[in-house]
Structure 1
Amino acid sequence: MNQIAGLGISTQRGTFITWNKKTGKPFHNFISWQDLRAVELVNSWNSGLTLKVIRAISTVLHFLTRNDRYLAASCLTFTTHHVSLRLSWVLQNIPEVQQAVNTNNCCFGTIDTWLLYKLTKGSVYATDYSNASSTGVFEPFQMCWSSLLNKLFSIPISIYPAVEDTNHSFGSVDAEIFGVPIPIVALVADQQAAMFGQCCFHAGDVKITMGTGTFWDVNTGNQLHTSRAGLYPLVGWKIGKEVVFLTEGSAADAGSTIKWAKKLDLFTSVEEISRMAQSVVDSEGVCFVPSFSGLQVPVNDPCACTSFMGLKPSTTRNHIIRAMLESIAFRNKQLYDTIVKEVQVPLTNIRADGGVSKNSFIMQMTSDLINEKIDKPVNTDISCLGAAFLAGLALGFWTDKEQLKKLRQTEIVYEPQRDSGEYKLAMDNWIKAVQRSLNWYSHTSH
């Protein structure tokens, strides 16, 4: 332990907890980014008069000022992935939390903040810009917690932690935990950490992380991108005066789809599913809609259902597996097309990571569909590498990003092998299946 110079922490975003400021005792379990308990609130806000008024006023202000901040507000839409309405649900439904808020005795934190608080034995209460910007209650244009959104949701800003640079002296791990105090020198959200670990340092660099969900992130340099289709603006990292912004589109169900198929005994080992999919020429008309957590960009329906369509007596497990893997690639195509249409920055390198990126069928089909090369590194668990890179820079172990680029190793570059038009019929049928899966759940039954 004495050899450890410093610690960088990368965590899942959007998952949060609240706790008693005096005792440090949590009021509830972690509420995951995939949690759907606030879906009724989300739908109510998205269809409500208040949001319509905000959009209308913001549209006028954008027309008069051409300020992108107002353009973002004119397109404002809430999702269950954002902390905002899940936290609002907690305040409305857990009396202990509301009471603590009223007495200024409530702390809020995403996983990074909670870990930092526990590792320092309660002496440090903070987050970084990458994690804060992922909550849906942070104002990236002004780089602070949003007073407007928090007033709308009746959330006092006093419950939020201080927001620091991604590279920052966050105190030290208490010596009782590991035997020695270890400086904590970087906090970063997982997708932003993966972006850094992939060395996507330049505007136009693209990173695809396929883990539980799929996340497409584009480096937009020092410019925030405002989206009409639901792409989300993020702070990638802030290191001193350098602030790098990203725009992100996501699909909640990638690895979760494969995990579910395993649970149903559709296959025995992850290694065999590419072979199973390739053993049949197509899915024989079977379509799978991956919507365990709703459908995100560009569909944006939290009430969509997961479904199989086109099943026949002749359908085999291999057809089903192929349909499931194809659905992940089709969602990739949708996200890519949305990004190309909306983001004005020319896309350059496309790099993939995450457990699902090990699936050669999905990777090759995605490359075919988007007609682009996709570079997969040797190390696909890249978020931890990004945290290590940031910590190393903070400590002076590396002096610049050029040194980091030399450490990244490519395992394989997927290149288009089939014309994307060959998938048109299959994708058109899949889109029909998606349309029939929309708005399946009522607001209260999901």
Structure 2
Amino acid sequence: MTGPVLAVDQGTSGTKALVLCPERGVIGSGTAPVRPRYGADGLVEVDPAALLSSVLDASRRALAEAGEPVAAVGLANQGETVLAWDPVTGAPLTDAIVWQDRRAEGLCAELAPHADTLRELTGLPLDPYFAAPKMAWIRRHLTREGVVTTSDVWLTHQLTGAFVTDAATAGRTQLLDLDDVTWSPSALEVFGLAGERLPQIVDAGGAFGTTSAFGAPVPLTGLLVDQQAALLAQNVTEPGTAKCTYGTGAFLLAQTGDRPRRTTTGLVSCVAWRFAGRTSYCLDGQVYTAASAVRWLADLGVIRGPEDLDPVGGSVPDTGGTVFVPAFAGLAAPWWRSDLRGSLTGLGLDTTAGHLVRALCEGIAAQIVEIADAAAATTGAPLTALRVDGGLTRSALLMQTQADLLQRPVEVSALPDVTALGVGTAARLGLDPRLPLADALPEWKPAAVYEPRVTAEEAAERRAVFRAAVDATPARRA
């Protein structure tokens, strides 16, 4: 058995680092915040230096708490966040454009005639959420210098000097041939990126370089995009199983095995991970605003933060007829309406903060159910249960709402920080390729299970009300 590994989850609003021991579990942890900037026209940016410093700060705190050396490092990343940078000096040439940024909408509209070809080739719909539209937007509007890549490539280069990305992160760009798991010349041509220098595509576990950023030299052996890392840690490794992570956004992934499953239901078909040259695939559905919508309510003074969801929402028995479509950054799967804005309807003089909170929980949960139904339609089998993780799973109100609308049990992970645990598993497999996947995974068990408390008829009625509100939601003005 190998020694402890440092597992780092670099996320949208912060970085979490864990020191994981195969015998003792988590022996050290550290966090560091990241604060994206929000602006007009869908701008969401962050200083790349803040991403790197958060990785260094969180990791050093975790290592200091552990008080012992590690055998390897694993790094999870945001997926679709991109920047341009100088490959010689490593210096950023732009801010990092965060996955939520919508400024490439016009470019996507221009490329709409290629949408069907791109979906068949890469598994992804044409949408500003993915990396390639942002990369092309940077080339058109910001700089032609250096390289333009996802943030993981830059962070890995800063730590080790390597120029690599894992297969799952590459699959989030819309530049990857989904069947061959290689960069697609056709997709690059469509986006005007044919002459770009792209990173080498590697397995999630392997020898990617050595870093001295945390003290003594240590190998980087794990690389994986955040949601797929959570999928791995939740032990969703067999077809027909699924997980949902509730963070800044909410992300449901369903395992499909060793071949991609193209779908007409609005879901994304993508790489789950690649180990020892063998690729596993999944279906992916996204809710762009979850915790970020909770933060919006807090910024308005309706609640103090996520800790108020249950006490405030519990002050009323239902939504009081209020319907909340939290489409602050548009709607993703299965609608793919980047032009939509959020809406709040059914308000009256008797509407309270509790009604708003319940309506938000209903709006988040209803979107997840639409994704789960789309996954079931694609795989031909309904989900038997949904494994969930992330900060918002602390809300019993949201989780019960999710179980009610899904009409399936919702199993809350007892393991915190599953993204870090997943990339820690990848790092362990990279350090010891002979280790069976089952032996590298953390033991999975639920901390709580929420069973549906309403009838299927009531759930269907509430979902129909939400869908009608989506249909009536206004688009952004041009």
TMscore range, shorter length:
0.7 to 0.9
- 2:428 is the alignment partner of 1:392: yes
SS of alignment partner, residue 295 of structure 1: coil
CA distance in 1, matches of 2:136, 2:430: 36
User: Alignment length, in residue pairs?
Assistant: 412
Aligned to 1:39: 105
Matches within 5 A, 1:42-61: 42-46=108-112, 50-51=113-114, 55=116
Indicate the larger mover: 399-408 or 331-340.
Answer: 399-408
Residues 209-260 of structure 1 deviation map (CA, whole Å, 9 limit, x = unaligned) = 1111111101100010101132111111111142111110111011111111
Read off the aligned partner of 1:382 and give its amino acid letter: V
Identity of aligned residues (%): 27
* CA 203–180 in structure 1, closer or farther in 2 if over 3 Å, else same: same
CA distance in 1, matches of 2:414, 2:420: 14
Choose the corresponding residue for 2:127, options 79, 98, 102: 79
CA contact (8 A) 2:82 2:134 kept: no
Residues 31-74 of structure 1 deviation map (CA, whole Å, 9 limit, x = unaligned) = 0110011111122322xxx427xx4xx6xxxxxxxxxxx98259
Unmatched runs of 5 consecutive residues or more in structure 1 = 59-69, 101-105
Choose the corresponding residue for 1:107, options 121, 124, 147: 147
Matches within 5 A, 1:285-304: 285-304=321-340
* CA 159–37 in structure 1, closer or farther in 2 if over 3 Å, else same: same
Matches within 5 A, 1:162-201: 162-173=200-211, 175=212, 177-201=213-237
Indicate the larger mover: 164-173 or 2-11.
Answer: 2-11
Residues 265-322 of structure 1 deviation map (CA, whole Å, 9 limit, x = unaligned) = 1112422312322321211111111111101112211110111111111111111111
CA distance in 2, matches of 1:135, 1:349: 30
Unmatched runs of 5 consecutive residues or more in structure 2 = 1-62
The alpha-carbon deviation at position 346 of structure 1 amounts to 5.8
SS of alignment partner, residue 371 of structure 2: helix
Aligned to 1:441: 476
Residues 371-395 of structure 1 deviation map (CA, whole Å, 9 limit, x = unaligned) = 2112111223210000111112222
Q: Considering Cα pairs closer than 8 Å and 6+ residues apart, tell me whether 1 or 2 has the greater RCO.
A: 1
Choose the corresponding residue for 1:134, options 162, 172, 175: 172
CA distance in 2, matches of 1:424, 1:153: 41
Matches within 5 A, 1:33-432: 33-46=99-112, 50-51=113-114, 55=116, 72-73=120-121, 77-94=125-142, 97-98=143-144, 100=145, 106-120=146-160, 123-156=161-194, 158-173=196-211, 175=212, 177-344=213-380, 347-396=383-432, 399-404=435-440, 407-432=443-468
The alpha-carbon deviation at position 157 of structure 1 amounts to 5.2
CA distance in 2, matches of 1:245, 1:423: 31
- 2:91 is the alignment partner of 1:25: yes
CA distance in 1, matches of 2:469, 2:329: 17
RMSD: 2.1
Read off the aligned partner of 2:413 and give its amino acid letter: P
CA contact (8 A) 1:304 1:441 kept: yes
Question: Higher helix proportion, which one?
Answer: 1
Q: Larger Cα Rg: Structure 1 or Structure 2?
A: 1
The alpha-carbon deviation at position 405 of structure 1 amounts to 5.3
CA distance in 2, matches of 1:76, 1:4: 37
CA contact (8 A) 2:119 2:125 kept: no
CA contact (8 A) 1:15 1:31 kept: yes
Question: Higher strand proportion, which one?
Answer: 2
Indicate the larger mover: 19-28 or 244-253.
Answer: 19-28
SS of alignment partner, residue 341 of structure 2: coil
Read off the aligned partner of 2:278 and give its amino acid letter: E
CA contact (8 A) 1:287 1:308 kept: yes
The normalised TM-score by structure 1 is 0.87
